[in-house]
Amino acid sequence: MSGRRVGFCLSDKKRRRMNLDAFAEFCAGHGVEVVEIDLAQPLITQGPFDVIVHKLSDVIVEAEHDSQSQQLLTNFQSYVSAHPSTVLLDPLPAMTQLLDRFASYRIMSKLHNSLRDWHICSPPYLEIHSSSDVSSLQQAVMTQGISFPLVCKTRVAHGSLSHEMSLIFSAGSLADIHPPCVLQSFVNHGAVLHKVFVVGDRHFCVERPSLKNFPSGPCDRKTIFFNSHQVSKPESSSDLTALDEQVPCLPPPSSEAVAALVRELRTQLGMALFGVDIIINLHTHTLTVIDINIFPGYQLS
């Protein structure tokens, strides 16, 4: 591996979480030079790179409405296209689709067919593109066959707002949503979330707190607004994660099923660094995929 160069393009926050300085020091001891890429400067003068590791989520999202970010992205992609031998983790088109929950949920919904033998599925969901009156929303919910309670999530799966979610318990409370967003049937899962972290052909699974069980079907309970990041931190403890009743201990996800899921998603996504949030349906014990995440935090404790 002597003489190898790895370029990193990460936010300050991601750098700190990864302890990139310590990683660079470790790599230097093994003949690998770690270089921080400055997007504002020509990449050709910073290269060559054997591998580029990046999380350009901010830039991709901003490029939708900001010409400067669009130019940075164009310059980056031009360099990558001109250097096909450089391994890019991960390709920009693959990352872009995971930043859009409409796109990633379409991928998730196909898993039911491709992984039928493993009893893997994702909950029914509905894309809400723009504001509608409550009766139209109610009709769409009925037509799509999604059931209360519903989890409402923003369309953009990046940034602090993407963690702001709500639980909607009745048709009348559909007035609380803010399109564009996704409505997903809530699945009782014993307040346990399994986070799968994928690194190339390896993966790791950790258990985290999650939302408690709620009675199925509509009720007059007011909408609950919550931050998923706060609910599912390793040390999280709140009324939303404390079970109201004794629930039989659910079996952990089958390691073979998780491996099959990871293989399928690696093929579908064309990515090496991603995370999958899965729960076990309390009633059917079906492994249920509820979200896919770009380049997660890899916090294993």
Q: Please, are residues 200 and 298 in contact by the beta-carbon 8 Å criterion?
A: no
Average pLDDT over residues 5-32: 90
What does the pLDDT read at residue 131?
Answer: 82
Residue 235 pLDDT greater than 80, yes or no: no
At 272, the pLDDT band (50, 70, 90 cuts) reads very high
Name, of 225-229, 238-242, 275-279, the range with top average pLDDT.
275-279
Is the same domain home to 128 and 77? no
- What DSSP state is assigned to residue 99? T
Residue 119 pLDDT greater than 60, yes or no: yes
Is the same domain home to 75 and 163? no
Distance CA 209, CA 192 (A): 5
Is the same domain home to 84 and 123? no
Is the same domain home to 185 and 259? yes
What does the pLDDT read at residue 301?
Answer: 58
Is the same domain home to 158 and 45? no
Residue 2 pLDDT greater than 60, yes or no: no
What does the pLDDT read at residue 299?
Answer: 75
What does the pLDDT read at residue 248?
Answer: 78
Write out the two tokens for 178: 């803010």
Distance CA 168, CA 96 (A): 28
Pairing of strands 51-54, 87-89: parallel
| Tokens 């599912």 -> residue | 232
Is the same domain home to 147 and 239? yes
**Cα angle 141-146-152, degrees, rounded to a multiple of 5:** 80
> Is residue 119 situated within a structural domain?
yes
Domain containing 137 — which CATH number?
3.30.470.20
The conformational region for residue 66 under phi > 0 = left, psi -120 to 50 = alpha, else beta, is: beta
Residues 6 or more apart whose CB falls under 8 angstroms from that of 287 comprise 118, 119, 120, 121, 253, 254, 257, 258, 261, 278, 280
| Greater model confidence, 11 or 235 | 11
Across the chain, mean pLDDT equals: 91
Q: What are the tens digits of pLDDT across the range 151-207? A: 999 999 988 888 999 999 999 999 999 999 999 999 999 999 999 999 999 999 999
Please give the tally of structural domains in the chain: 2
Is the same domain home to 222 and 133? yes
Domain ranges, residue 50: 4-89
* 130, burial (CB in 10 Å: exposed 0-12, middle 13-18, buried 19+): exposed
What does the pLDDT read at residue 133?
Answer: 85
3-class SS of residue 25: helix
What does the pLDDT read at residue 16?
Answer: 87
> Is residue 300 situated within a structural domain?
no
What's at 108, amino acid-wise?
M
| Tokens 């990633």 -> residue | 104
Distance CA 102, CA 47 (A): 36
Distance CA 136, CA 143 (A): 11
| Greater model confidence, 249 or 213 | 213
Q: Of all residues in the chain, what percent carry a pLDDT higher than 90?
A: 74
Query: Which candidate, 88, 67, 65, places its Cα nearest to that of 76?
Result: 88
> Is residue 301 situated within a structural domain?
no
4-9 β-sheet, strand order: 32-36, 4-9, 51-54, 87-89
Domain containing 20 — which CATH number?
3.40.50.11370
Q: What are the tens digits of pLDDT across the range 123-161? A: 999 999 988 888 899 999 989 989 999 999 999 998 888
What does the pLDDT read at residue 1?
Answer: 40
Distance CA 166, CA 292 (A): 18
Write out the two tokens for 41: 């400067």
Is the same domain home to 67 and 118? no
> Is residue 158 situated within a structural domain?
yes
Average pLDDT over residues 262-283: 95
